[in-house]
Amino acid sequence: MDYTTHTPRQLGQTLRGQRKSQQLTQKDAAKMVGLLPKTVSKLELTAETATIESLFKLLSALELELVVRTRSANAQDKEW
């Protein structure tokens, strides 16, 4: 399933939702890829302040991938 995100907040919500749907705690997800649970929390709550490296580690733990594509004409950024 694809999750379109346009803001760091949306990204954090998507990560949290995916983690919960896999019945993982922040500690579980963090341990899988060598992160601290507070780093997972940071990605979920304030993704704009997290590192790209941490993001990719969490994506890996959740078996997700990042896809970059040209935005559709009707997409709007309300928070940027």
At 59-80, the pLDDT tens digits run 999 999 999 989 877 666 555 5
Q: What is the CA radius of gyration of the chain?
A: 13
Q: d(Cα 26, Cα 38) in Å, to the nearest integer? A: 8
In the prediction, which pLDDT does 77 show? 53
- In eight-state DSSP terms, residue 78 is S
**Residue corresponding to tokens 């979920």:** 44
In the prediction, which pLDDT does 71 show? 81
Domains defined along the chain, listed by start:
8-61 (1.10.260.40)
Contact of 43 with 54, CB cutoff 8 Å:
yes
At 18-62, the pLDDT tens digits run 999 999 999 999 999 999 999 999 999 999 999 999 999 999 999
Residue 32: CA count within 13 A, CB half-sphere:
17
pTM listed for this prediction: 0.85
Residue 12 has pLDDT above 70, yes or no: yes
